[in-house]
Amino acid sequence: MAAAAHHPRMDPALTPEALAAQLRRPAGADAEATGARMNEANAAVNRRAIALLGVAAGQAVLEIGPGNGAFVPELLISTGSRYVGLDWSPEMVAAAQRRNAQAVAAGRARFVEGDAAALPFRDAAFDRVLSVNTLYF
Ligand SMILES: C[S@@+](CC[C@H](N)C(=O)[O-])C[C@H]1O[C@@H](n2cnc3c(N)ncnc32)[C@H](O)[C@@H]1O
Protein backbone atom coordinates (compact mmCIF):
# COMPACT_ATOMS: atom_id res chain seq x y z
CA MET A 1 0.00 0.00 0.00
CA ALA A 2 1.69 3.23 -1.15
CA ALA A 3 0.34 5.42 1.66
CA ALA A 4 1.96 3.25 4.30
CA ALA A 5 5.39 4.48 3.22
CA HIS A 6 4.53 7.95 4.57
CA HIS A 7 3.61 6.77 8.03
CA PRO A 8 6.15 6.93 10.82
CA ARG A 9 7.10 3.39 11.71
CA MET A 10 6.68 1.79 15.11
CA ASP A 11 9.89 0.46 16.52
CA PRO A 12 9.78 -3.19 15.33
CA ALA A 13 11.51 -4.23 18.55
CA LEU A 14 8.56 -3.12 20.71
CA THR A 15 7.46 -5.91 23.00
CA PRO A 16 3.71 -6.53 23.42
CA GLU A 17 4.01 -4.87 26.86
CA ALA A 18 5.67 -1.77 25.39
CA LEU A 19 3.06 -1.57 22.64
CA ALA A 20 0.27 -1.83 25.23
CA ALA A 21 1.91 0.96 27.24
CA GLN A 22 2.06 3.16 24.13
CA LEU A 23 -1.62 2.55 23.38
CA ARG A 24 -2.52 3.39 26.98
CA ARG A 25 -0.46 6.58 26.99
CA PRO A 26 1.57 7.38 23.85
CA ALA A 27 4.93 8.79 24.93
CA GLY A 28 8.41 9.60 23.70
CA ALA A 29 9.90 8.57 20.39
CA ASP A 30 7.15 6.08 19.55
CA ALA A 31 4.24 8.44 20.27
CA GLU A 32 3.82 9.81 16.76
CA ALA A 33 3.84 6.38 15.16
CA THR A 34 1.42 5.12 17.79
CA GLY A 35 -0.99 7.92 16.86
CA ALA A 36 -0.77 7.09 13.17
CA ARG A 37 -1.31 3.42 13.90
CA MET A 38 -4.38 4.14 16.05
CA ASN A 39 -5.89 6.33 13.33
CA GLU A 40 -5.63 3.51 10.79
CA ALA A 41 -6.79 0.71 13.04
CA ASN A 42 -9.61 2.66 14.71
CA ALA A 43 -11.09 4.73 11.88
CA ALA A 44 -14.20 2.62 11.37
CA VAL A 45 -15.22 2.47 15.04
CA ASN A 46 -14.58 6.19 15.49
CA ARG A 47 -16.71 7.07 12.46
CA ARG A 48 -19.49 4.80 13.69
CA ALA A 49 -19.39 6.42 17.15
CA ILE A 50 -19.40 9.92 15.63
CA ALA A 51 -22.42 9.04 13.50
CA LEU A 52 -24.26 7.69 16.58
CA LEU A 53 -23.35 10.80 18.56
CA GLY A 54 -25.29 12.98 16.10
CA VAL A 55 -23.77 16.33 17.05
CA ALA A 56 -26.27 19.10 16.24
CA ALA A 57 -25.65 22.74 15.39
CA GLY A 58 -24.25 24.75 18.27
CA GLN A 59 -23.57 21.76 20.53
CA ALA A 60 -20.51 21.35 22.75
CA VAL A 61 -18.67 18.01 22.50
CA LEU A 62 -16.18 16.48 24.95
CA GLU A 63 -13.91 13.66 23.81
CA ILE A 64 -11.92 11.69 26.35
CA GLY A 65 -8.72 10.18 24.95
CA PRO A 66 -8.74 11.56 21.40
CA GLY A 67 -5.12 10.59 20.71
CA ASN A 68 -3.86 12.87 17.95
CA GLY A 69 -7.34 14.21 17.15
CA ALA A 70 -7.59 12.77 13.65
CA PHE A 71 -11.38 12.57 13.71
CA VAL A 72 -12.08 16.00 15.19
CA PRO A 73 -13.01 17.59 11.81
CA GLU A 74 -15.81 15.03 11.53
CA LEU A 75 -17.14 16.11 14.94
CA LEU A 76 -17.19 19.75 13.88
CA ILE A 77 -19.28 19.42 10.73
CA SER A 78 -22.42 20.90 12.34
CA THR A 79 -22.55 24.69 12.25
CA GLY A 80 -21.27 26.34 15.41
CA SER A 81 -20.42 23.09 17.20
CA ARG A 82 -17.48 23.22 19.60
CA TYR A 83 -15.08 20.53 20.74
CA VAL A 84 -12.82 19.84 23.72
CA GLY A 85 -10.44 16.86 23.74
CA LEU A 86 -8.94 15.65 27.03
CA ASP A 87 -5.92 13.35 26.88
CA TRP A 88 -3.26 12.60 29.46
CA SER A 89 -0.49 12.24 26.88
CA PRO A 90 1.27 15.60 26.30
CA GLU A 91 2.56 14.22 22.98
CA MET A 92 -1.00 13.48 21.80
CA VAL A 93 -2.29 16.88 22.97
CA ALA A 94 0.49 18.61 20.98
CA ALA A 95 -0.12 16.45 17.90
CA ALA A 96 -3.89 17.07 18.06
CA GLN A 97 -3.31 20.81 18.33
CA ARG A 98 -1.04 20.78 15.28
CA ARG A 99 -3.41 18.63 13.26
CA ASN A 100 -6.43 20.79 14.11
CA ALA A 101 -4.66 24.16 14.14
CA GLN A 102 -7.35 25.88 12.09
CA ALA A 103 -10.20 24.80 14.35
CA VAL A 104 -8.12 25.75 17.41
CA ALA A 105 -7.38 29.20 15.96
CA ALA A 106 -11.07 29.65 15.16
CA GLY A 107 -11.97 28.87 18.80
CA ARG A 108 -13.93 25.76 17.86
CA ALA A 109 -11.50 23.15 19.21
CA ARG A 110 -9.42 22.96 22.35
CA PHE A 111 -7.12 20.20 23.60
CA VAL A 112 -6.47 19.79 27.30
CA GLU A 113 -3.90 17.61 29.04
CA GLY A 114 -5.50 15.81 31.95
CA ASP A 115 -6.81 12.59 33.47
CA ALA A 116 -10.32 11.36 32.79
CA ALA A 117 -10.49 10.37 36.47
CA ALA A 118 -10.50 14.07 37.43
CA LEU A 119 -12.30 15.98 34.70
CA PRO A 120 -11.30 19.67 34.78
CA PHE A 121 -14.70 20.91 33.57
CA ARG A 122 -17.78 22.29 35.29
CA ASP A 123 -20.87 20.11 35.49
CA ALA A 124 -23.16 20.01 32.44
CA ALA A 125 -20.61 21.82 30.26
CA PHE A 126 -21.16 19.47 27.29
CA ASP A 127 -24.07 18.29 25.18
CA ARG A 128 -22.31 15.20 23.83
CA VAL A 129 -19.47 13.05 25.18
CA LEU A 130 -17.39 10.57 23.21
CA SER A 131 -14.67 8.13 24.18
CA VAL A 132 -13.41 5.34 21.94
CA ASN A 133 -10.90 2.60 22.85
CA THR A 134 -10.17 4.06 26.27
CA LEU A 135 -12.36 2.55 28.99
CA TYR A 136 -10.12 -0.48 29.61
CA PHE A 137 -7.24 1.84 30.45
C1 LIG B 1 -5.80 3.49 22.37
S2 LIG B 1 -5.79 5.27 22.30
C3 LIG B 1 -7.33 5.60 21.45
C4 LIG B 1 -7.30 6.93 20.72
C5 LIG B 1 -8.57 7.24 19.91
N6 LIG B 1 -9.72 7.45 20.77
C7 LIG B 1 -8.86 6.13 18.95
O8 LIG B 1 -9.89 5.46 19.07
O9 LIG B 1 -8.03 5.92 18.04
C10 LIG B 1 -6.19 5.74 23.99
C11 LIG B 1 -6.02 7.23 24.23
O12 LIG B 1 -6.64 7.57 25.47
C13 LIG B 1 -5.73 8.28 26.28
N14 LIG B 1 -6.06 7.96 27.68
C15 LIG B 1 -6.07 6.72 28.25
N16 LIG B 1 -6.42 6.81 29.55
C17 LIG B 1 -6.66 8.12 29.80
C18 LIG B 1 -7.06 8.85 30.97
N19 LIG B 1 -7.27 8.24 32.15
N20 LIG B 1 -7.21 10.19 30.88
C21 LIG B 1 -7.00 10.82 29.70
N22 LIG B 1 -6.60 10.19 28.56
C23 LIG B 1 -6.43 8.86 28.61
C24 LIG B 1 -4.35 7.85 25.82
O25 LIG B 1 -3.35 8.80 26.11
C26 LIG B 1 -4.57 7.66 24.32
O27 LIG B 1 -4.35 8.85 23.59
Domains of the chain are 16-130 (3.40.50.150)
Q: Using CA atoms, how far apart are residues 25 and 4, in angstroms rounded to an integer?
A: 23
Mean pLDDT of the residues in the chain: 92
Whole-number Å distance, alpha carbon 4 to ligand 1 midpoint, is: 23
pLDDT recorded at residue 13: 74
Inform me whether the pLDDT recorded for 7 exceeds 60. no
In short, whether 88's Cβ falls inside 6 Å of ligand 1 is yes
Percent of the chain exceeding pLDDT 90 equals 88
In short, whether 66's Cβ falls inside 6 Å of ligand 1 is yes
Task: Give mean pLDDT, residues 112-124.
Answer: 97
Judged on CB neighbours under 10 Å (0-12, 13-18, 19+), 21 is: middle
In short, whether 34's Cβ falls inside 6 Å of ligand 1 is no
pLDDT tens digits, one per residue of 85-103: 999 999 999 999 999 999 9
Q: Which carries the bigger pLDDT value, residue 10 or residue 25? A: 25
Q: Pick the residue whose CA is nearest to atom 25 on ligand 1.
A: 25
Inform me whether the pLDDT recorded for 115 exceeds 60. yes
**Full 3-state SS string of 17-53:** HHHHHHHHCCCHHHHHHHHHHHHHHHHHHHHHHHHHH
